[in-house]
Chains A and B, each alone.
Chain A
Amino acid sequence: GAVVSQHPSRVICKSGTSVKIECRSLDFQATTMFWYRQFPKQSLMLMATSNEGSKATYEQGVEKDKFLINHASLTLSTLTVTSAHPEDSSFYICSARWTGAGEKLFFGSGTQLSVL
């Protein structure tokens, strides 16, 4: 089956620094990728929709200047958490939309971000 690679799986950073998370579709092209965030014991919440070659669409309440999304190629989307603070500590997970025969979503394994 299709594979989505997300890197890194875990990152610890100091408050005020920026962290980049990569999401790659390894064996298919994904014009659309999604970024989710999950706080402990909470649902996965959609943060933004990333479309190749255009600006990302952010959900209400998500700061676009803080969570920078770049989808420069059909196989790579990146999420950069800028000037991270402890409240940004969370589990971030991406998914890539496959539009072959039918439509499917494939998920990365997630990134646990801890901001000290």
Chain B
Amino acid sequence: AQSVTQLGSHVSVSEGALVLLRCNYSSSVPPYLFWYVQYPNQGLQLLLKYTTGATLVKGINGFEAEFKKSETSFHLTKPSAHMSDAAEYFCAVSSSSGGGADGLTFGKGTHLIIQP
């Protein structure tokens, strides 16, 4: 069984500040981890994913995440927030690298608010 916990349903940061969105997972098999972003009235868009290899993963729009097996974490960061980053962010885990063999298990989501 797999599960994902996202700490903080809402995170507010100032424009230009560091963004940190937390994600912890549990999985009985080696996990594949994903971060998705959802802008208003749009579908989920893949930000980045961890499959194997390098534990620091770089994604689109300046985001990156680090897989820490010892902490069962996959936190998402961005050095400098931009107003356009305001959105809902979902962490997800899967037993397949593409997430599609058996679907994804999602966290509850974190709403990122950017203050001017």
Chain A interface (Cβ < 8 Å from any Cβ of B):
4, 6, 9, 32, 34, 36, 41-46, 49, 93, 95, 97-99, 102-110
| Secondary structure dominating the interface of B | loop
Q: B83 interface residue, CB < 8 Å from A?
A: no
Chain B interface (Cβ < 8 Å from any Cβ of A):
4, 9, 36, 41-46, 90, 96-109
Q: B103 to A34, Cβ gap below 8 A?
A: yes
Apart from A95-B44, A104-B46, A105-B104, 11 more pairs, CB < 8 Å: A32-B100, A34-B100, A41-B9, A41-B108, A95-B100, A99-B100, A102-B98, A104-B99, A104-B100, A109-B41, A109-B43
A–B Cβ pairs within 8 angstroms, 10 of them:
A34-B104, A36-B106, A45-B106, A93-B43, A99-B98, A105-B100, A106-B43, A107-B43, A109-B43, A110-B43
Q: A43 to B4, Cβ gap below 8 A?
A: yes
Instruction: Count CB-based A-B contacts (< 8 Å).
Output: 64
A3 to chain B, nearest CB (A): 9
Q: A107 to B107, Cβ gap below 8 A?
A: no
* Top 6 A-B pairs, shortest CB-CB distance: A103-B98, A97-B100, A107-B43, A107-B44, A44-B106, A46-B103
Cβ–Cβ < 8 Å partners of A32 in chain B: 100
Q: A49 to B44, Cβ gap below 8 A?
A: no
Q: B109 to A43, Cβ gap below 8 A?
A: yes
Nearest-CB residue, chain A, relative to B42: A109
Q: B100 to A43, Cβ gap below 8 A?
A: no
Cβ–Cβ < 8 Å partners of A110 in chain B: 43
A103 to B46, CA, bound (A): 12
Cβ–Cβ < 8 Å partners of A97 in chain B: 98, 100
